[in-house]
Structure 1
Amino acid sequence: MIKKLFLATALLAHLSAHAQKMHVLHIRNSKELQAFLRYTGKDIPFISGHRGGVNKGFPENSIAAFENTLRHTPATFEIDPRLTKDSAIVLMHDATLDRTTTGTGKVSDYTLAELKQLKLKDVEGNVTEHRIPTLQEAITWAKGKTVLILDKKDVPFEMTARLITRNKAEGHVMITVHTAKDARWYYDRNKDFVFEAFVKTPEAMAEYEAAGIPWSHIMAYVGPDNKPQLQPLYDALHQRGVMCMISTAPTYDKQPDAAARAAAYQAIIRDGASLIEADRSIEAAAAIQSLIPAKSDKQRFFGRK
């Protein structure tokens, strides 16, 4: 009887551990990240969790939110670095603390030590046990698991470039750039940086080409709306080996009907994007599961651990 109880307990422990395994991206350096993002026409569509993915119980811009998403799907994560009073870099979308933490006022009015005393709130405003992470903590955690995409907030370019380079994180940290000029600034300082670049128009695409930024270093953000006018831009970027991304956070994620959201996510991939940046990261991933090709050379980048 005792032996049977022991075996049952061991089996439950094994099943529980297996259930907690996370999807990971096997990307070790900048060259592999560039290969992962290169458009081939037979790629595996995937999700980027906007602010880490917004789900009940898991605060945005928290490592807990990243891990929760990765338990369901492989993903990259768009995150928001901000400066503290003592020039530390923490993850926080808003300039103020009120919406997502137990604190009030501006992030920049607090030291890191003071911010670490606060607790994070989830999407419904519930206080959790999770704390505000530093960008350094996120970069250390992400290695061997995923790719972080740093949005542009109030952190000086010099600090961002220095932190990525010092951590040798060019393979798992990307930089969001709004202009070709910004991309050129970073590229001149480190040829291994990879960008999420705002390329919403043919004119913007021409500016990146004129600036001499290699397309191998760019994943293109084409906007929040899946519209027919994007087709020529998709075609031109795909010819250059560039994957395209649509963010559904301000648009389709807000639709009240789940079936309508699923149809929107699927249409985005069918129409030419390879990546969806979503608040509803887990839901969007489930919706596009049927669109994953049976065979793809990109499969080597996807795993579990």
Structure 2
Amino acid sequence: MLRALLAASLFLGGCVTAHADQPSSAGLLTAAQGDLPGFFGCLRDHKIAIIGAHRGGPLAEHPENALRTFEFTTSLAPVFLEADVQQTADGVLFMNHDNHLDRNTTGEGLVSETDWKEIADLKQRDPTMQPVDVTPPLLSDVLDWADGKALLMLDTKPSTVPAKVLKVVDDAKARDRVFYLAYTIDQALGYRAIDPDAILAMPIFDDSYFDAAEAAGLLNDKLVAMVRVANVAPDFVEKVAATGATIMSGTYGRPQAPDAVYRTLKDAGAYDEMVGLGAQLLVSNRPRSAAEALLSHADYASKLKVCGVGS
């Protein structure tokens, strides 16, 4: 009963009422597919942002990185999906946030020390730690599901091998509808060595990150720069944006973050502030609420339409 009530409260508190002319997750994908830099640049030019569902937008009975959760979240709000990729001991790529199995699944031990056959039939756990009757999806399953439905940012954990990730993406003919989160310069260069046009997200938290990315030749319109826009000087955001990079920021992780303070549409300004600080992509633990806040502005849908969403 408690889990059912939690699911209902989250649904009602962050549900976006659907209309025929309202932006959709599929509409975001259609606008972005084939020219992510152009789409992100349009968002920047029109000073608007789109929402990313962190780990797919989990809630009761909807685990992190589960196909069930991806389907549910994208049916309720216009978002892209941030999804986590891990690599098993025998080189299989599947969806899981942690580098161990205990929190996200009914299994135990390190992912890197476990073969896929020992993981395939595990149940995924929801945020209440209860097992749900769904199993961890393969990366290939997610790419197939997302075709025509959602833009994906693949948070490829440091243990994953870029060549393996790109092979699975290529097999799914998904190269023009995904971008990748890399944690290090070496990981980013691993992607670029194989696919020079790969769109990469990576931390650009301060001048030291900026200088390292610049020296590696990564600062351009194919970079999504992870910047904590509320914690840095405006001129730093401007410096990063001047390279052509897209600015992405999280809406969680601090007491006054938008995800923490948003209750009703009267609080929409919490998300607006981050857009005003220069972010084009807002990754949220409350994607339904964040999308609701942005959609509350009368001109939001029309600005997205200029960028090809729903046109």
In structure 2, list runs of 5 or more residues that go unmatched.
1-17
1:161 aligns with 2:161: no
Describe the SS at the equivalent of 2:81: strand
Displacement of 1:77: 1.6
After superposition, what is the alpha-carbon deviation per residue over 1:31-82, rounded to whole angstroms, capped at 9, x for unaligned?
A: 4122112254305411111111122221111111111111122212222111
SS in 2 for 1:286: helix
Give the equivalent residue in structure 1 for 2:285. 279
Scaled by the length of structure 2, what TM-score is found?
0.79
Bigger mean CA deviation after superposition, 191-200 or 33-42: 33-42
Taking a change above 3 Å as real, the CA distance of residues 22 and 174 of structure 1, as seen in their structure-2 partners, is same
User: For each residue in 1:191-211, what CA deviation from the matched residue of structure 2 results, as whole angstroms up to 9, or x when unmatched?
Assistant: 221111211223433333332
Compute the TM-score of the two structures, normalised by the length of structure 1. 0.81
Match of 2:249 among 222, 238, 246: 246
Query: Structure 1 CA distance, aligned partners of 2:294 and 2:303?
Result: 16
Say whether residues 1:237 and 2:240 are aligned partners: yes
Conserved in 1, the CA contact under 8 Å of 2:29 and 2:177? no
**Superposition RMSD in Å:** 3.0
Identity of counterpart residues, as a percentage? 26
Which of 80, 89, 92 is the matching residue for 2:93?
89
Q: Structure 1's 110 and 181: CA in aligned 2 closer, same or farther, altered over 3 A?
A: closer
**Structure number with bigger Rg:** 1
Whole-angstrom distance in 2 between the partners of 1:28 and 1:288 = 18
Question: Number of matched residues?
Answer: 284
Pairwise CA distance, 1:234: 1.8
Q: Does the aligned pair in 2 maintain the 1:27–1:33 contact within 8 Å?
A: no
Distance 1:132 1:301 in 2: 33
Q: Following the alignment from structure 2 to structure 1, what is the Cα–Cα distance between the partners of residues 267 and 296?
A: 15
Match of residue 260 from structure 2? 255
User: Which whole-Å CA distance do the structure 1 matches of 2:24 and 2:213 have between them?
Assistant: 36
Q: Is the 8 A contact 1:28 1:144 kept in 2?
A: no
Distance (whole Å) between structure 2 residues aligned to residue 35 and residue 96 of structure 1:
37
Could you report, residue by residue, the CA deviation over 1:182-226 in whole angstroms, capped at 9, with x for unpaired residues? Answer: 333322221221111211223433333332236121111103x61
2:215 aligned with 1:213, yes or no? no
Is 2:276 the partner of 1:289? no
Contact map agreement 2:152 2:178 (CA 8 A) in 1: yes
Q: Which runs of 5+ in 1 are unaligned?
A: 1-15
